[in-house]
């Protein structure tokens, strides 16, 4: 991966974290999200090519088992996209089916938490975690 692209992705992650923290501080809100809470990791997560390359580089260097899980799951998800991408309710339907992200560990943690995509960083709540569960 080009160093400039790697830096751009890391900067985008840092910026979102900083802006989210500022927003929460302004509202005086605290999030309920914590390690081991993972209903949001059943969602259909979309990443751009640069983020995917960034994540792959990290997995290749540090987490080959997790990379193998992603590669094994990839064809299933590509098949689902090919079949259902035209359906407006597809993301909701997929979430209700509760397929865990292949990067979710058996302890219910994100294996790539510091490198997780923007789509995951943007999901948070100040409500009780039970409201996040499918259904």
Binding mask 2-41 for ligand SF4 (x = CB under 6 A): ------------------------------xx---xxxxx
Phi (first) and psi of residue 50, to 5 degrees = -65, -45
Could you say which DSSP state residue 133 is in?
S
Q: Which residue has the tokens 């938490």?
A: 113
Least Å distance, CB 109 to ligand SF4, is 8
Least Å distance, CB 50 to ligand SF4, is 16
Neighbouring residues of 6: CB distance < 8 A, sequence distance ≥ 6 = 54, 57
Gap between the Cα atoms of 63 and 32, Å rounded: 28
Comparing CB distances to ligand SF4, the nearer of 34 and 86 is 34
Q: Binding-site residue total for ligand SF4 (CB under 6 A)?
A: 20
Neighbouring residues of 45: CB distance < 8 A, sequence distance ≥ 6 = 101, 117, 119, 120
- Sign of the alpha-carbon dihedral angle for 134, 29, 104, 58: positive
Per CB under 6 A, which region of 4-12, 57-65, 73-81, 97-105 contacts ligand SF4?
97-105
Least Å distance, CB 73 to ligand SF4, is 11
Per CB under 6 A, which region of 14-22, 68-76, 91-99, 123-131 contacts ligand SF4?
123-131
Least Å distance, CB 72 to ligand SF4, is 15
Phi (first) and psi of residue 83, to 5 degrees = -80, -40
Binding site for ligand SF4 (CB under 6 A): 32-33, 37-41, 45, 101, 103-104, 110, 112, 116, 120, 123-125, 129, 132
């Amino acid at each position: 991966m080009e160093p400039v692209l790697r830096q751009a992705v890391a900067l985008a992650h840092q910026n979102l974290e900083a802006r989210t923290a500022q927003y929460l501080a302004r509202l005086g809100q605290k999030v309920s999200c914590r390690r081991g809470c993972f209903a949001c990791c059943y969602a259909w997560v979309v990443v751009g090519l640069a983020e995917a390359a960034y994540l792959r580089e990290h997995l290749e260097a540090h987490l080959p088992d997790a990379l193998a899980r992603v590669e094994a799951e990839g064809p299933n998800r590509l098949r689902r996209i090919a079949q259902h991408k035209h359906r407006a309710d597809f993301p909701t339907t997929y979430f209700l089916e509760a397929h865990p992200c292949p990067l979710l560990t058996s302890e219910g943690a994100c294996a790539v938490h510091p490198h997780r995509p923007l789509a995951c960083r943007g999901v948070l709540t100040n409500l009780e975690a039970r409201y996040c569960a499918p259904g």
